[in-house]
């Protein structure tokens, strides 16, 4: 049996999305920047996809810019905000995705910004009182906080963060890669300047994402070389990817509640079965359903010999998951997220992440193999 429980890393491409993309590949090959009929046909497809994404997120198509993925969109938002608005202070957390964390760390090393980290509780939740203090005491800031942590699944109240940023005239960027297509986003009401999404996290193709830029601000392009994306991103558009992204997001919105109920039930069932089967496990991060991303479950297992072989053991049994442990003292190897919440570095942790395609039978099989790995009878 083969079980895929690493959907937070990437999801399988939906067959209907693939068929939509293949139809474009077979019949529409013009360059969307060309003014002849072949080019105009493809330009129409790109703009139709932009309109679909914008309508689903309740914003104007002019505010959506397609990118190569979440990392490019995060980099664009952060670097352009700092360079174009003269910002010298940024606020983030120690559990952000490396696309955000590494970018801000580099800018600090270059002397372009002072970087502050908002406090976290033991589960990895944002301390909003500390966030407000940081906003009060450092002049105009860039705040970069993800909506859902990709390892723990913790949800940040980005509506609350947006209100705080508006109060203190801060620029707010949020990486919503893990929540896009799993929760509804109303960008007409959300007080965010930048929002980021990636298609391959919601059964769309790899290599395509988007950056939402609030119409109240203007930034200069980070990638130069052409007039594509309304002069904001040079380079020929990934037409097939863009069309696939729009289709995947459309499908995600159409069946969102059904998929949420199915996946949340699988997550709850797995927690229940693991607690029954393996003593002394605990859940890393937030456990309350309304505070945790329903697609992610991070489990801390008991100490075991060759703990680093746990993922390999799952792999040889046909189970794909991801994880690791907190960084050991003096070592850079390990999860910066688990280290930030003071997880025990001697205990292995595994992130199981679910999709609409997973089944209860797959959970039973996975729990059984984990039971064997820990020698439980």
Write down the mean pLDDT value for the chain: 94
Residue at 266 is within a domain: yes
Examine the domain organization and report whether 63 and 164 are in the same domain: yes
Examine the domain organization and report whether 233 and 272 are in the same domain: no
Examine the domain organization and report whether 240 and 279 are in the same domain: no
Residue at 234 is within a domain: yes
359-369 per-position pLDDT tens digit: 999 999 999 99
Examine the domain organization and report whether 207 and 269 are in the same domain: no
pLDDT confidence band for 330 (50 / 70 / 90):
very low
Residues 6+ apart with CB under 8 A from 239: 24, 28, 32, 42, 45, 46
Examine the domain organization and report whether 132 and 220 are in the same domain: yes
**How far from each other are the two terminal CA atoms of the chain, in whole angstroms?**
22
Examine the domain organization and report whether 212 and 268 are in the same domain: no
Residue at 377 is within a domain: no
CATH of the domain at 88: 3.40.640.10
Residue at 225 is within a domain: yes
The region of weakest confidence among 170-174, 292-296, 335-339 is 335-339
pLDDT confidence band for 333 (50 / 70 / 90):
low
Asked whether the predicted pLDDT for residue 377 surpasses 60, the reply is no
pLDDT for the residue numbered 91: 98
Q: Which uninterrupted H or E stretch holds 372?
A: helix 360-373
Mean pLDDT score, 270-274: 97
Examine the domain organization and report whether 272 and 204 are in the same domain: no
Residue at 368 is within a domain: yes
Structural tokens at position 246: 């729009």
CATH of the domain at 330: 3.90.1150.10
The region of weakest confidence among 90-99, 142-151, 215-224, 368-377 is 368-377
In angstroms, the CA 166 to CA 270 distance is 40
Residues 299, 173, 133: CA angle, nearest 5 degrees: 85
Examine the domain organization and report whether 98 and 185 are in the same domain: yes
Of residues 203, 310, 319, 308, the one with CA closest to residue 253: 203
224-263 per-position pLDDT tens digit: 998 999 999 999 999 999 999 999 999 999 999 999 999 9
Mean pLDDT score, 40-62: 98
C-alpha distance from residue 92 to each of 111, 125, 130, 184 (Å): 17, 13, 12, 24
Asked whether the predicted pLDDT for residue 135 surpasses 90, the reply is yes
Mean pLDDT score, 80-90: 96
pLDDT for the residue numbered 331: 46
Structural tokens at position 109: 């090393």
The region of weakest confidence among 102-106, 137-141, 276-280, 304-308 is 304-308
Which residues lie across from 115 on neighbouring strands?
90
Percent of the chain residues past pLDDT 70, beyond the cut: 96
Examine the domain organization and report whether 242 and 318 are in the same domain: no
pLDDT confidence band for 327 (50 / 70 / 90):
low
Structural tokens at position 343: 């997880």
The region of weakest confidence among 29-33, 142-146, 323-327, 328-332 is 328-332
Structural tokens at position 284: 């890393």
Structural tokens at position 268: 């709850």
In angstroms, the CA 172 to CA 77 distance is 10
66-78 per-position pLDDT tens digit: 999 999 999 999 9
Mean pLDDT score, 121-142: 96
In angstroms, the CA 369 to CA 270 distance is 13
Examine the domain organization and report whether 23 and 69 are in the same domain: yes
Last residue of a domain, which of 213, 236, 254? Answer: 254
Catalytic residue among 80, 165, 300, 327: 327
Examine the domain organization and report whether 21 and 112 are in the same domain: yes
**Phi, psi at residue 326, to the nearest 5°?**
-65, 155
pLDDT confidence band for 289 (50 / 70 / 90):
confident
Examine the domain organization and report whether 361 and 229 are in the same domain: no
pLDDT confidence band for 325 (50 / 70 / 90):
low
Q: Whole-prediction pTM value? A: 0.95
Count of domains forming the chain: 2
pLDDT for the residue numbered 329: 46
Last residue of a domain, which of 208, 227, 254? Answer: 254
Residues 6+ apart with CB under 8 A from 356: 203, 255, 259, 262, 263
Residue at 127 is within a domain: yes
Q: Which domain covers residue 204, as residue numbers?
A: 15-254
Residues 213, 218, 222: CA angle, nearest 5 degrees: 80
Mean pLDDT score, 207-236: 94
pLDDT confidence band for 307 (50 / 70 / 90):
low
Active site residue 327: yes
Last residue of a domain, which of 206, 236, 254? Answer: 254
Residue at 138 is within a domain: yes
What is the DSSP secondary structure assignment for residue 301, as one 8-state letter? P
pLDDT for the residue numbered 345: 86
């Amino acid at each position: 049996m083969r079980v895929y429980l690493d959907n937070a890393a990437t999801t399988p491409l939906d067959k209907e999305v693939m068929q939509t993309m293949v139809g474009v590949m077979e019949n529409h090959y013009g360059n969307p920047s060309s003014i002849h009929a072949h080019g105009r046909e493809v330009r129409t497809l790109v703009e139709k996809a932009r309109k679909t994404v914008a309508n689903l997120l309740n914003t104007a198509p002019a505010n959506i810019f397609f990118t190569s993925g979440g990392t490019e969109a995060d980099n664009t938002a952060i670097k352009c905000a700092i360079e174009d608005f003269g910002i010298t202070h940024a606020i983030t957390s120690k559990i952000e995705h490396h696309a955000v964390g590494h970018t801000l760390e580099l800018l600090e090393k270059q002397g372009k910004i002072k970087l502050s980290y908002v406090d976290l509780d033991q589960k990895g939740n944002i301390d909003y009182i500390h966030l407000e203090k940081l906003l009060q005491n450092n002049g105009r800031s860039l705040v970069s906080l993800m909506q859902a942590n990709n390892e723990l699944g913790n949800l940040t109240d980005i509506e609350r963060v947006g209100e705080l940023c508006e109060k203190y005239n801060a620029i707010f960027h949020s990486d919503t890669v893990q929540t896009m297509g799993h929760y509804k986003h109303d960008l007409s009401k959300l007080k965010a300047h930048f929002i980021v999404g990636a298609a391959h996290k919601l059964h769309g193709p790899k290599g395509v994402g988007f950056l939402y830029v609030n119409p109240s601000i203007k930034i200069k392009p980070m990638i130069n070389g052409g007039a594509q994306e309304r002069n904001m991103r040079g380079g020929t558009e990934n037409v097939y990817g863009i069309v696939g992204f729009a289709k995947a997001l459309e499908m995600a919105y159409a069946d969102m509640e059904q998929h949420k109920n199915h996946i949340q039930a699988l997550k709850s069932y797995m927690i229940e079965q693991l607690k029954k089967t393996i003593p002394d496990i605990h859940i890393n991060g937030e456990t309350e359903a309304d505070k945790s991303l329903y697609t992610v479950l991070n489990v801390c297992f008991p100490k075991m010999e060759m703990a680093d072989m746990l993922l390999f053991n799952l792999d040889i049994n046909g189970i794909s998951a991801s994880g690791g442990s907190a960084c050991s003292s003096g070592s850079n190897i390990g999860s910066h997220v688990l280290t930030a919440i003071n997880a025990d570095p001697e205990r292995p942790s595994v992130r199981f992440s679910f999709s609409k395609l997973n089944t209860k039978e797959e959970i039973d099989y996975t729990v059984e193999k984990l039971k064997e790995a820990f020698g439980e009878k």
